Amino acid sequence: MNTTHVGWNGIRLTVPRSWTLHINGHTHLIFEKDFQPLLEIRWQIPDSRKPATHQSMLRKLQKQNNDIEEKQIEEKLFSLKKHYHIFCYGKKETPGPEGGILSCKTCGKLILFHLNQCDKNLAAPLAALSSLSCHFLQEEPHLWSFQGSDLLLPSTFILHKFSFRPGFGCLSFRLKKLDLHCSRLSPADIRLQNQSLQEILAVLSGLSENEIKNGRTDLSCGGYRYPSMTFQVLSRLKRQKPFIRASIQHDPDNNTLFSMVAESTQPIPPEICIPNQPEYETVSI
């Protein structure tokens, strides 16, 4: 297939595999091809205290550029009308739209998209937009795409922070009293020349090597800490979470390592950190 599914913080869409995804914030994505930006998407989580509308968002855009006017909706975006109110805009001197605002009829989320007018062929960006979805069933997991990997998590996990560096990416989530850190490390072969899988997991999780056990194969390992009552009290005084459960998996085909580290003030169930990879590079819990 020449396309792939991409997801981030409640947004999903299908894009060409040749595109590069840049994550600029909790609710900000930019897609590029050959270092040329093609499509930019921002969205706003609904606020019940002061709900935003596409009219208020348009007024903000017009304050930045008073040359903006409403444009006719592109035919390729007609399929979105079932789930979204659509408003397209552009400069007065340009024939077609250069961006638009989608307002979800179900959850009220506002999505702002911008098309790069330097690329005269807008077929691919418009096709990607037509696949966009932001509303899912409550039990349906959220897809998180980063650094060429995909992570599936229950929608109850809320993104707290993220960090991307060359060869390392980490997403940190929160669920009540539990923190979950999901990390991708590459290249695996270079890292494993200097440290064993157990040593790498010990650094990422804070577990001692005695607390880490080998997995069913030499491609994975995991461990947990069930501390004594004294240790729990001391940890809470230091504002640390004493219970830890962690796992790491080596994916030789993609030359990557993927780890999951859960920390909590309460005992953590084993299924929290059991990575598996079904049809594509996905970790689900």
Task: Assign 51 a pLDDT band (cuts: 50, 70, 90).
Answer: low
Spatial CA neighbour of 242 closest among 267, 276, 223: 267
pLDDT for position 280: 31
pLDDT for position 40: 95
Minimum mean pLDDT range among 83-92, 168-177, 259-268: 83-92
Q: Domain ranges for the chain, please list them.
A: 3-130, 146-284
pTM above 0.95, yes or no: no
When mean pLDDT is compared over 48-62, 104-118, 147-161, 268-282, the highest value belongs to 147-161
Report strand pairing: 282-284 vs 149-153.
parallel
Distances (CA, A) of 93 to 38, 69, 71, 121: 20, 10, 11, 18
| The pLDDT of residue 284 is above 70 | no
Containing 69, the helix (H) or strand (E) segment is strand 68-71
Tell whether the torsion through CA atoms of 197, 200, 205 and 207 is positive or negative: positive
pLDDT for position 171: 96
Structure tokens at 159: 């993104």
**SS3 state of residue 246:** strand
Structure tokens at 233: 């009290």
Starting at the edge strand found earlier in the chain, the sheet holding 212-214 runs 158-165, 168-175, 178-185, 256-264, 243-251, 220-225, 212-214
Q: What residue ranges in 190-242 does DSSP mark as E strands?
A: 212-214, 220-225
42, 112 in Cβ contact below 8 A? yes
List, for residues 197-226, the tens digit of each pLDDT value: 999 999 999 998 889 998 888 899 999 988
Task: Assign 50 a pLDDT band (cuts: 50, 70, 90).
Answer: low
CATH code for residues 3-130: 3.40.1000
List, for residues 9-31, the tens digit of each pLDDT value: 989 999 999 999 999 999 999 99
205, 244 in Cβ contact below 8 A? yes
**SS3 state of residue 282:** strand
Mean pLDDT score of the chain: 84
| The pLDDT of residue 282 is above 50 | no
List, for residues 218-264, the tens digit of each pLDDT value: 899 999 988 777 777 776 767 778 889 999 999 999 999 999 999 99
